[in-house]
Structure 1
Amino acid sequence: MEKITMKDIADALNISRVTVSKAFNNQAGVSETLRELIFAKAKELGYAKIPYQIREQPQEEQRTISLIVSRPDSALFWTNIIHRMAQELANYNVNLLYTYVPSVYTKTFSLPSVLLNGSVDGVIVLNVYDPEILNMVNELSVPKVFLDTIPTLTDSQLSGDLVLIEGFRTEAKITDILIQNGHTEIGFLGDIDYAMTNKERYLGYCDCMNKHELVVRSEYCLTGRIDIFSYGRKLHTFLDELQSWPSAFVCASDYVANFVQSYLDNNSHRLPHPVVLTGFDNTGEYTNVAGRIITANVPTALLGKRLALQLLFRSEHPEAPQELTFIKPSIIIPHIKQ
């Protein structure tokens, strides 16, 4: 086997031998990026005279974090969070491992072995709302960060940090804007048992209505359990059965508002007067409501970064008190026709 020379390295990278020599001798005139390329190529070719400090430089151990998520075909809202989370973890040489769980628990389900055999150094839980599955994840012994939870599994019961998108005050403010615009008959639409964030939004709506001494009319509210894949049908049936109409609906999310707007557009003959909608999340993917309704803008990219940094902190400081963090969205108000 022929001896590898600096010229071989230079030829492989289409650079001069002088540049290779400067890199090995730590001389000026070679960028850090090119220097790393030269060292990598030298190792690849088996060059015998790599500087000792380069040859023996230990590599930082890569850690693995599991992202536990359901519904891999999720909405843009979730994918934006995940993308930014992965970017931030990569900055710290942390690999993000996607671990999918079903939306609904069955008796045959068990957590994937990767979560149980010590392969991961921590978990971030996203878009998982089944009580049985959440409880199974909650029992894992690794550091954990949850984005949202269910009303029956509160922060005091979780064995990890909880990040919530603030909803009580934000939804109260959105409801107050409707009232200031002259609306007094206002309904609420959204499954409040599905997620803590939905419950908080409903409570904020109720609080504002009560402060203005307005009645929360149950016939204008759909708050019971709704399967995530049945929203369109359930909302259509609910709206079909209305005997009278409010002048506005506060919707738990833009996702909900999009189904309601679709119904309104297709059944305008049933409306005795215009009906205003509000949403939450501002994902922009539901074109029939994007830019047309009051909504709360959740900074998904920053939220993804925040989750990543929280898990890194928890991994390094497992003894620190558990944290409950609220991310405050901003309210977006388009021009609304009265």
Structure 2
Amino acid sequence: MFCRRSMAGLWRTASGLTKKGKYPLIGSNRALWLSSTLRKKGRPNRQSQCRGGKREEIMDPNCKVSRPWGAGPGGQQLGTKSPTSQKPPEIPWGRVSKGSSECLQVAIVTGGATGIGYSAAYKLLKHGAKCVVISSRRKEKGVEAAEKLNGRFGKDRALFIQGDVNDEKHFRCLFEEPIRRYGQVDVLFNNAGMLEDKNWQLAVDTNLTSLIRGNFLAFEYMGKNNNHHGGIVVNNASIVGLQTLHGAPVQTGIRVVALCPGVTETVLVTDARGKQYNPDWGKEAERLLSSLPTQSTSVTGLAFVDLIRYAPSGTIWVIENSQLLRADLPDRHSYSTVAAKYK
């Protein structure tokens, strides 16, 4: 299902596990080698999440299975909490001190009429925000939410603007109106989302495209590069993007895998500099790409064919420096650190 901005995570991690624990359309027992993996503890990076080797070694049909496909690190079933005996370390909160209200003055909350959005608006006002702009497609709910907030915290503390985040004109209005009144916007909470597989195009527009739109508008209306004073954007994603969804494509009999190529000799890479958000981003992209190993499109083609032949559903593959590696995402409990607990 399409949970807020988690579509990529859903398609990448949907396992396709059947009731008998077998994957559809695998065909050959040679695919069993894919279950053998090396995992490292701690916060993951690309190198620590990937396993590779020579092609003839990787495709060895005699490779033994080291853990069940549906298991997390160390054979632990995904979705179960990792045991821990150590007290979680204190997390530094950055340059803005905890409890500071300087960064909470004027905020925008999309999807703010109900649920998580309304609660966020309420807490912002309770912690000293000057004004919160809430957005929703539902006029009655939005008006009701604004009235409740103003009744609790004072007149004009909450401003409701009806509209759809898929409409850029409406999204711009969410920034322009508080700037006209208060001269600034400090916070954007990209919270609007929907859960509709049947209307997947609207779900993608709402959950993904509008989120990207909101970030770029924040750069424009809040960025120091545009003579504003900065701020913060919080993108409401979903735990679904971090957790495997066993059995998502079972009924279809279709495997879904992801191929993540490294720097490959294509026009997409050579023309990257002139197509970024601004010249500085273009220079940084060029610097980063030039520092990484390159490979030919012939190599990525071979990797593509091997994935069709051998890759189980829900797996993620990196083809970098002419080497095919499987990227194993650890269970989220193995790399999460407690920052705060709430009652």
Q: Would you say same fold, with TM above 0.5?
A: no
Using the size of structure 1 for normalisation, the TM-score is 0.30
Which entry has the higher C-alpha Rg, 1 or 2? 1
Q: Which one has more relative contact order, counting CA pairs under 8 Å at least 6 apart?
A: 2
